Amino acid sequence: MTIVEVGPRDGLQNEAAAIATADKIAFVNDLSDAGHSVIEVSAFVSPKWVPQMADAAEIFAGIARRSGTRYTALVPNLAGLTRAIDARVDEVAIFAAASESFSRRNINQSIAESLDTYRAVCARAKEAGLPVRAYVSTAFGCPFEGAIEPSAVADVSAALIEMGAYQVAVSDTIGIGHPGQVPVVLDAVTARVPLDRVALHFHDTRGTALANVLTALDLGVTTFDSSAGGLGGCPYAPGATGNLATEDLLYMLDGLGIETGVSLDKVLAASRRIEEKLGHPLASRYAAAERARR
């Protein structure tokens, strides 16, 4: 089982508190020490729109890279890719939406326009020898359009794989997905994309993230995204509690005897240290239970 740790990027990007670069570096190093094989460190996006990610290059320059860990970054376009290459990232991630409305609100491009952008990114990344991972957002529902047809998710997923992404993370951006949807969406996507190239990215807004993972495990999915402490959320989802917490996921997987190579205790320690910089408690239920014992 592979966990893709997205706390330093997807988790921190919407935090109101200004997090010092040194603290972000320490957070990544703590997560490396926990045994993660993949950590999404930051994003090479416009500092005007995502100020929390303005120090992406400095973070990559400062982290202690652990053998066996891939350090990745989100890129929205060729300019972001160039900055990522200069920062010596191990791979990059691109992101498209299954919802036309969300795509226009989020990146001011239609789905088709975004895919054209990412084809150019994939081609340049291939020249640079960089693997590309892809996200499909709003795969389980959109804050503007509501329900999304699984066929639309499959169309975007297939397009991203065809242009060169090695994996597509089908994402419940606003935390609206439930276990009844998981087989339906996966059936549509895996009719176009091999199952071993599909990952899932759940948010826990409605408390269904772990139930969704459990359902997907039975369907053969072996890669899941999560965020230390449950950091993160979506600005278009009022009341969102953030991403699936890595601690909660590990507690369940450890209990099932599923090997991840990641230390629950060390992830909890990493979450506690970054929590001190945020000004609010983290959403992880496991972390909250351990906090209550202290």
Residues assigned a catalytic role: 234
- In degrees, rounded to 5, the angle at the alpha carbon of residue 43 between the alpha carbons of residues 110 and 155 is 35
Q: Are residues 98 and 136 in contact, defined by beta-carbon separation less than 8 angstroms? A: yes
How far is the CA of 37 from the CAs of 14, 240, 294, in angstroms?
24, 27, 30
Identify whether the C-beta of residue 235 lies closer than 8 Å to the C-beta of residue 105: no
Nearest to 269 by CA among 290, 292, 244: 290
Q: At 204, list the tokens.
A: 């826990």
| Nearest-angstrom CA–CA distance, 134 and 114 | 12
